[in-house]
Amino acid sequence: MAHCLVTGGAGFIGSHVAEALLSRGHRVSVLDDLSGGTAERVPEGAHLFTGSVTDVELVDRLFAEQRFDHVFHFAAFAAEAISHSVKSLNYGTNVMGSVNLINAALRTGVSFFCFASSVAVYGHGETPMRESSIPVPADSYGNAKLTVERELETTMRTQGLPFTAFRMHNVYGEWQNMRDPYRNAVAIFFNQILRGEPISVYGDGGQVRAFSYVKDIVDVIVRAPETEKAWGRAFNVGSSRTNTVLELAQAVRAAAGVPSHPIAHLPARDEVMVAYTATEEAREVFGDWADTPLADGLARTAAWAASVGPAELRSSFEIEIGGERVPEWAQCVADRLSGADR
Ligand SMILES: NC(=O)c1ccc[n+]([C@@H]2O[C@H](COP(=O)([O-])OP(=O)(O)OC[C@H]3O[C@@H](n4cnc5c(N)ncnc54)[C@H](O)[C@@H]3O)[C@@H](O)[C@H]2O)c1
């Protein structure tokens, strides 16, 4: 049994990771500032420490007292599309928060560090995105994820801390944050249906994505500490089955039992148009994993969403650069949050 720290363990993917680690017999502690997650989602049996990964004193004290064996770092500011408008929050949380954890891990003898990275590291590169391609992030969020991956490589080489990074994309499932208006298309769409609002799609909805059911990827992630062949590497993990965002909206309507629910088109935004990954490298190391069909995963998510009901929208941050630099689509979301378009 290992003592595992899951940062972001009150959030969506981190809480599933915490649950899976507990069911594998590990002791689990969670560090989360509850900016996006909720205490009620921390699985029974895991201990919640409420606080931020940016709080150096707290992080150092926690590591010194708790003597973690493994760290699963899932806490992040994760609204990618808006990340360049909140640079300080993005880099402060995603880079410096990660550095604080790496330092504390080195000081206290942590034996493995797992990092939640993202396909955002690839930017507008070739598709399917492959680990062998040179990453060129297209936004501040991708820059931050790549920086941490690189720092972990350096730390393993120079100071011997084994790590594995997982480049995930468009993960969905039960307990996804439905309050955040800036990210998680699946959760946004279910919440819009529950709130009786049209489903909002950016541009024509032709963006191509692969949507991954959360439990499929978590089953892979929790095996990283004992999979030595995976150490020192970053892997794509998730589904390679693609859909457009418009198809997703239609599938969500079907899963929720409202196939004619209206779909509204918002101004297009600057985003990667085709994003999905090749996963052979991870499959070679971890073996095959379940690839839950979209309709099945959405049916489970729909049942969960209906059981919790509509969520009040809220943004957990302020846009740092205001005025004309706020993109048109983001202004639409801000108007919605303030009730200006009602
Ligand atoms: N959901 C996806 O499709 C996806 C894709 C690629 C990568 N990721 C990465 O996976 C990780 C988890 O994402 P998620 O979708 O579960 O998001 P989430 O927002 O549900 O979870 C993130 C958690 O981190 C916590 N958090 C945020 N800032 C913190 C801080 N400063 N200190 C402590 N806790 C903090 C939040 O309260 C939340 O509980 C993130 O690192 C994200 O960048 C997610």
Site to probe by mutation for ligand 1, drawn from 77, 146, 171, 215 as the one with most ligand atoms within 8 Å of Cβ, is 171
Say whether pLDDT at 325 is over 80.
no
Encoded amino acid at 177, one letter: N
Confidence category of residue 341, pLDDT binned at 50, 70, 90: very low
At 296-318, the pLDDT tens digits run: 999 999 999 999 999 998 776 77
Question: Which residues span the domain enclosing 332?
Answer: 172-210+240-274+292-338
For 100-129, give the DSSP string. HHHHHHHHTT--EEEEEEEGGGTBT--SSB
CA of 116 to the centre of ligand 1 (A): 8
Q: Which atom of ligand 1 is nearest to the CA of 117?
A: 7
Site to probe by mutation for ligand 1, drawn from 13, 19, 184 as the one with most ligand atoms within 8 Å of Cβ, is 13
User: Does the CB atom of residue 98 touch ligand 1 within 6 A?
Assistant: no
In a domain, 27, yes or no: yes
CA of 10 to the centre of ligand 1 (A): 9
% of the chain surpassing 70 pLDDT: 99
In a domain, 309, yes or no: yes
At 100-136, the pLDDT tens digits run: 999 999 999 999 999 999 999 999 888 999 999 999 9
Residue 132 and residue 15 share a domain: yes
Number of domains forming the structure of the chain: 2
The stretch 164-177 carries a mean pLDDT of 97
CA of 328 to the centre of ligand 1 (A): 25
In a domain, 279, yes or no: no
CA of 217 to the centre of ligand 1 (A): 15
At residue 50's C-alpha, the angle toward residues 64 and 72, to 5°, is 60
Confidence category of residue 342, pLDDT binned at 50, 70, 90: very low
The whole-angstrom separation of Cα 184 and Cα 164 is 24
The stretch 260-286 carries a mean pLDDT of 93
Tokens coding 23: 């069911």
CA of 78 to the centre of ligand 1 (A): 6
Residue 196 and residue 269 share a domain: yes
Residue 200 and residue 162 share a domain: no
Distances (CA, A) of 172 to 59, 214, 219, 241, 302: 29, 6, 14, 14, 11
Confidence category of residue 339, pLDDT binned at 50, 70, 90: low
Total Cβ atoms within 10 A of residue 151: 16
CA of 73 to the centre of ligand 1 (A): 9
In a domain, 176, yes or no: yes
Q: How far is CA 110 from the centre of its chain?
A: 23
Residue 45 and residue 24 share a domain: yes
Residue 182 and residue 65 share a domain: no
User: Does the CB atom of residue 114 touch ligand 1 within 6 A?
Assistant: no
At 4-22, the pLDDT tens digits run: 999 999 999 999 999 999 9
The CATH number given to whatever domain includes residue 259 is: 3.90.25.10
In a domain, 287, yes or no: no
Residue 197 and residue 215 share a domain: no
In a domain, 313, yes or no: yes
Residue 77 and residue 7 share a domain: yes
Residue 157 and residue 13 share a domain: yes
Residue 197 and residue 142 share a domain: no
User: Does the CB atom of residue 37 touch ligand 1 within 6 A?
Assistant: yes
Angle between helix 245-255 and helix 185-194 axes, rounded to 10 deg: 40
User: Does the CB atom of residue 8 touch ligand 1 within 6 A?
Assistant: yes
Say whether pLDDT at 208 is over 70.
yes
Tokens coding 144: 């931050």
User: Does the CB atom of residue 169 touch ligand 1 within 6 A?
Assistant: yes
CA of 174 to the centre of ligand 1 (A): 15
In a domain, 283, yes or no: no
In a domain, 281, yes or no: no
The whole-angstrom separation of Cα 45 and Cα 322 is 43
Residue 177 and residue 317 share a domain: yes
Residue 187 and residue 73 share a domain: no
Residue 99 and residue 152 share a domain: yes
The CATH number given to whatever domain includes residue 223 is: 3.40.50.720
Q: Which atom of ligand 1 is nearest to the CA of 41?
A: 39
